[in-house]
Amino acid sequence: MSVVFERTQLLTDKQFHYCPGCNHGIIHRLVAESIDELVKEGKLEAGNVMGVAPVGCSVFAYDYFNCDMYEAAHGRAPAVATGAKRARPGTLVFTYQGDGDLASIGTAEIVHAAHRGEKIVTVFVNNAIYGMTGGQMAPTTLVGQKTTTSPYGRDDRALRGQQQRQYHQDQEGHQEGFRVPA
């Protein structure tokens, strides 16, 4: 009988603890399978992988990936990965970052790493909210999407650059937008 399915070698045996409906487990599996495929194709030496995970739910990646994992300060995973890659150029170095970390406080870090052409891989987990702290609106929250801090949905006027003063004047007497009724 032929083997149809094998557990990926890059994941540990630890059971995922993420919230129901969270995609981190699926993303971990896809990342691990992709790296395993590089090893099987001879494009990467087994054990020559390093990951960097910052704050938020991403920080738990060190429990699940069977490789060297480093923790970074909020938004600074690309900088840590850059240092690791330059110190060990033959290593596959990846960051595993959520949208709050990467698209908010870490925007400058990833933009500058890309501008310099750093040879790192960034896995961007975008759930469009700050999930670990209660579901607040994030930079990647979609227009109309409801969050705990935008209960009527994200308004697109702020994204279009209209002045805040005019925005708040328009909200008076309306039951939509960011204003929470009394």
Which helix (H) or strand (E) segment holds residue 167: the answer is: helix 164-171
pLDDT score recorded for residue 167: 57
Looking at this protein, which amino acid is placed at residue 74? Answer: H
pLDDT score recorded for residue 172: 60
**Measured distance CA(105)–CA(98) in Å, rounded:** 11
| 1-135 maps to CATH 2.60.40.10 | no
Backbone φ and ψ for 81, nearest 5 degrees, come out as -65, -35
Record the tokens describing residue 10, joined without a space.
């890059």
Which helix (H) or strand (E) segment holds residue 96: the answer is: strand 92-98
pLDDT digit string (tens) for the chain, length 182 residues: 898 888 888 999 999 888 887 889 999 999 999 999 999 899 998 889 999 999 888 888 999 999 999 999 999 999 999 999 999 999 999 999 998 889 889 999 999 999 999 999 999 998 888 887 888 888 888 999 999 998 988 887 766 665 555 555 666 655 455 555 55
Residues forming CATH 3.40.50.970 domain(s) in the chain = 1-135
Closest to 94 in 3D by CA, of 49, 45, 39: 49
What is the sign, positive or negative, of the torsion defined by CA atoms of 139, 142, 144, 147? negative
At residue 136, the 3 state secondary structure works out as: strand
pLDDT score recorded for residue 161: 61
**Measured distance CA(123)–CA(4) in Å, rounded:** 27
Query: Is 112 within 8 Å of 135 (Cβ atoms)?
Result: no
